[in-house]
Amino acid sequence: MKSFNTSGMSRRTYLKLTGASSAAAVTGLAGCMGGGSGGQTIVAGTAPGFPPFEMKNEDGELVGFDIDLFEAVVDETDYTLEEWSEFEFSSLIPALQNDRIDAIAAAMTINEERQETISFSDPYYNADQSILVANNSDFRPESLDDLSGQRVGAQEGTTGAGVVNSELIEEGKLDESNFNTYGNYVFAVEDLENGNIDAVVLDQPVAQTFESQRDVQVAFVYETGERYGFGIRQDDSDLQSALNDGLATVQDNGTYEEIRNEWFSDA
């Protein structure tokens, strides 16, 4: 997987180089226009540390599949992407609700709980959950039940954390004290490599990226049938429609396939 590819200049990078964007737009509300008509600007929120969807490259630049895809989708609309704003994953929905951002592009799974507070675009990616273990460990689980009694990690607010809670802790198979949550998966994988936890539950494509880069491996895959979508405020139907139309366009004209092939070696 190409997790740190910087070939080609993204639209976001172009805006930075030409001075068209500013850091003030990230922290203020000037760029957050909400749903509306053509010509309006939007601020997108993401959570780095989830390769290959969103992360920082060696130069500190925000890159990834979600970054490229969202920028390409917005380019097909009448909206202008003014800037990216970075949060921990669990803070993205509150930031959207508080008008600090206008959309979320962060490999966010569409589910009923989240749909009670925000809306989503049409799905743009399917993913299941993988269980990562360290290569220097003898622990090789084959099912979720095998995680019983082990030290398990996941990123706070993610599907992986939800699986651990619903399938293990609530079922009495795992003590809550044995479950560690993290602000992002980089810290979880570092703890896994250092022997501080025994397994990490995370999205399959992200696990495959860590497997190719770190001293870890996928023990097994837990099928969830989850789908990712861009998050939007519930009252922002204009932006939702625009993103859906833009997504359909990049899927039809081959742009989606190009971006997917750039970030996923098995595409």
Instruction: Check which CATH number belongs to the domain holding 87 and give it.
Output: 3.40.190.10
Q: Which of 22-26, 63-67, 250-254 shows the lowest per-residue confidence on average (mean pLDDT)?
A: 22-26
Asked if 44 and 67 touch (Cβ cutoff 8 Å), the reply is no
Residue the block writes with tokens 């009670």: 116
Q: Say if residues 190 and 123 touch (Cβ distance below 8 Å).
A: no
**Residue percentage of the chain with pLDDT more than 90:** 74
What is the DSSP code (8-state) at residue 196? S
pLDDT given at position 7: 35
- For residue 225, the model assigns a pLDDT of 87
Predicted confidence (pLDDT) at residue 139 exceeds the cutoff of 90: yes
Across residues 42-71, what is the average pLDDT? 95
Q: Distances in Å between the alpha carbon of 237 and those of 231, 233, 258, 261?
A: 12, 8, 28, 31
Tell me: the pLDDT tens digits for 229-262? Answer: 999 999 999 999 999 999 999 999 999 989 988 9
Residues 31 and 117 in one domain: yes
Query: Pick the residue with more confidence: 18 or 252?
Result: 252
Residue-wise pLDDT for 197-225, tens only, equals: 999 999 988 898 899 889 999 999 999 98
Query: Do 59 and 106 belong to one domain?
Result: yes
β-bridge mates for residue 220, sequence order: 131
Q: How far apart are the first and last CA of the chain?
A: 10
Q: Does 5 fall in a domain? A: no
Task: Place 19 in a pLDDT band, splitting at 50, 70 and 90.
Answer: very low
Same domain, yes or no: 171 and 240: no
- The arithmetic mean of pLDDT across residues 26-43, rounded, is 56
The whole domain housing 201 covers 128-225
CA distance 199 to 154: 9
Number of domains in the chain: 2
Please give the residue that has the higher pLDDT: either 178 or 31: 178
Considering the domain architecture, whether residues 25 and 112 belong to the same structural domain is answered as yes
For residue 127, name the pLDDT band (cuts at 50, 70, 90).
confident
pLDDT at 38: 47
- Can you tell me whether residue 205 is helix, strand or coil? helix
Beta bridge mates, 83: 43
Find out whether 99 and 32 touch, Cβ atoms under 8 Å: yes
Q: How far apart are CA 168 and CA 144, in angstroms?
A: 7
- Label residue 70 exposed, middle or buried (CB < 10 Å: 0-12, 13-18, 19+): buried
How many angstroms from the chain centroid is the CA of residue 215?
Answer: 22
Does 102 have pLDDT greater than 90?
yes
Q: Which residues contact 191 (CB under 8 A, 6 or more apart)?
A: 153, 180, 182, 197
Specify whether 100 is located in the same domain as 34: yes
63 against 257, higher pLDDT: 63
Q: Which structure tokens are listed for 161?
A: 């954390």
Is 250 contained in some domain? yes
What's the average model confidence in pLDDT over 42-69? Answer: 95
Task: Indicate if the pLDDT at residue 136 is higher than 80.
Answer: yes
Comparing 27-36, 107-116, 164-173, 210-219, the range with the smallest average pLDDT is 27-36
Question: Do 236 and 113 share a structural domain?
Answer: yes
Q: What are phi and psi of 254, to 5 degrees?
A: 95, -5
pLDDT at 157: 87
Distance CA 214, CA 51 (A): 12
Query: Cis omega (within 30 of 0) on the bond before 141?
Result: no
pLDDT number for residue 209: 86
57 in any annotated domain:
yes
Q: Which two tokens stand for residue 1?
A: 């997987």
Residue 10: what pLDDT? Answer: 42
Confidence of residue 265 (pLDDT cuts 50, 70, 90): low
